[in-house]
Amino acid sequence: MPVLRFRSGTSRRSRFAAAGTLLAALSLLLTLPGAASADDAATPERGTATMGMGVLANEGQSGTPRGTRATQTEGVDVAGYQGNVAWSTLWSSGIKWAYVKATEGTYYKNTYFTQQYNGSYNVGMIRGSYHFATPDTTSGATQATYFANNGGGWSGDGKTLPGVLDIEWNPYGDSCYGKTASGMVSWIKDFTTTYKSLTGRDAVIYTSTSWWTSCTGNSSAFGSTNPLWVARYASAVGTLPAGWSYYTMWQYTSSGATVGDHDYFNGALDRVKALATG
């Protein structure tokens, strides 16, 4: 390749012009639709959200539960990214109940749902399913219907827990999904009312106290109807959201043994069965 030589009087100006052209081209590329950015790279793909993902990212993990005199029954929650779950191993380790992600928004269904939902049942566990809410995409009623029709139903067989509304930190954008506190409460009410009309059961609400306070204004509207599954990765459950004087379930770690997040049911196994039967 021939070597380009510049006259001494023009070489500096030419190099500056070439550099300016290159910078302008790079700037245009970064502003084009679809151009990647650091924020884009950090945002997960839609459908990949899992129970507690936002809790861990926003609140962290600071310990494991202290010993307690109260009887607690160990459980687990799983999602599609964990694939085929070794349910017999979990059962042997003392896990007696499980929740499986069924849906997210109205655009995602867990492709491993059958193995996870039926597999837990087949080893003897009491199990249920959960829906990861995205209040910025469709209405609460629409998502409740999608959930109920795609794994979120309920039957009175004594081994099926009521469905769960997983409402927490948004992994895809604004923490409160762009809603005001009153708007969020209305969305949740839309979901829970529709879910009950379709299944006959009040949905369990999974959330963290921090998110609930920030995004619903610490609403007390659901404490008398919907069981609480609180997320807090610490040695104690801490303050509960307004309206609830006790928790039904506590997700206490995102890194449990074998697979999944691990949880306590606030009571002995007969209380788990009582929730299943209604």
pLDDT digits (tens, 9 = 90+) for 90-112: 999 999 999 999 999 999 999 99
pLDDT at 52: 62
Q: Please identify which residue in the block is written with the tokens 């993990």.
A: 61
Give the span between the Cα atoms of 150 and 165, in whole angstroms: 14
Q: How confident is the model at residue 66 (pLDDT cuts 50, 70, 90)?
A: low
Beta strands in 170-255 (DSSP E): 204-207, 228-231, 249-253
Residue 105 within any structural domain of the chain: yes
Q: How confident is the model at residue 54 (pLDDT cuts 50, 70, 90)?
A: low
Give the span between the Cα atoms of 222 and 209, in whole angstroms: 14
Mean pLDDT taken over the chain: 85
Give the total number of structural domains in the chain: 1
Q: Which of 59, 74, 104, 166 is catalytic?
A: 166
Residue 244 within any structural domain of the chain: yes
Tell me the residue range of the domain where 191 lies.
53-277
Residue 1 within any structural domain of the chain: no
7-21, 49-63, 229-243: least confidently modelled range: 7-21
Q: Which of 74, 104, 168, 263 is catalytic?
A: 168
Q: Are 125 and 272 in contact (CB under 8 A)?
A: no
Q: Active-site residue 166, yes or no?
A: yes
Q: Which of 77, 202, 261, 263 is catalytic?
A: 77
Q: Active-site residue 77, yes or no?
A: yes
The whole-model pTM stands at: 0.80
Residue 273 within any structural domain of the chain: yes
Rounded to an integer, the average pLDDT of 215-239 is 95
Residue 19 within any structural domain of the chain: no
Q: From 127, 136, 162, select the one nearest 147 (Cα to Cα).
A: 162
Higher pLDDT, 4 or 141: 141
Residue 245 within any structural domain of the chain: yes
Q: Active-site residue 104, yes or no?
A: no
For residue 220, what is the domain's CATH number?
Answer: 3.20.20.80
